Amino acid sequence: PPADYCGGWMSFYVALGFIGFVTALISDLANLLGCCIGMCNAITAITIVAFGTSLPDTMASKTAATQDQYADASIVNVTGSNSVNVFLGLGLPWMIASIKWKLTGRNEEWDRRYAMDEDLAADVRSGPGMFVVKAGDLGFSVGVFAVGAFVCLCVLAVRRQYLGGELGGARVPKVLTATLLVLIWCAYIVLSSWKAMEGYCSR
């Protein structure tokens, strides 16, 4: 709908609905593709799904970087988007699931999923039933991501100190910075995929 309808709120909510639909579609298609080519769901999630759902953020950051006088808008877009993904994208579904299992309690579905799962503690398996999220290889991936994020922040700080700005500048340092950031992303993909193949995907 036009942006002037209902003060712009109708357009906002319709856009959110389309974003949710497209995100779900990308996730399902990526999982189907991973199944067809024999790729583990964990690897599919950190490669195809993550890349597909992050492209809009990449384009928004690029637009902000080229149109804004400072780099703040593009960098804040990245950090803000990831904050929403982590705190709202994980927190809201987990809260809903926790309420659901608290209300329904232990049932046949819960027993089928977790009653014989030896990865869970004995008191959880024999308990009244609760929302369970198995960590898998999350700790390793988060650690690799944290190291990569720290390196990125250091690069931005060095650029500000010695080049006068976080983004842009002369061609050589600009290309070197972009190459380094891409290599950090590739390192994260390789290390997280390796860990997933060693653990979750090998089961």
Predicted confidence at residue 203, as pLDDT, reads 58
Report how far apart, in Å, the C-alpha atoms of 27 and of each of 36, 44, 131 are. 14, 9, 23
CA distances from 9 to 57, 60, 81, 85 (A): 21, 21, 20, 22
What's the chain's average pLDDT? 83
Q: What is the pLDDT of residue 199?
A: 67
Taking residues 111-128, report their average pLDDT.
Answer: 82
Assess whether pLDDT exceeds 80 at residue 202: no
Interhelix angle 72-83/50-67, nearest 10 degrees: 150
pLDDT confidence of residue 200? 60
pLDDT single digits (tens) 18-71: 877 887 787 788 778 888 888 887 788 888 778 777 777 788 788 877 787 777
Q: Per residue in 147-190, pLDDT tens?
A: 999 999 899 899 988 888 777 778 898 899 999 999 999 999 99
| Residue 165 exposed, middle or buried by CB count within 10 Å (0-12, 13-18, 19+) | exposed
Q: What's the whole-model pTM score? A: 0.72
Q: Is the pLDDT of residue 80 over 90?
A: no
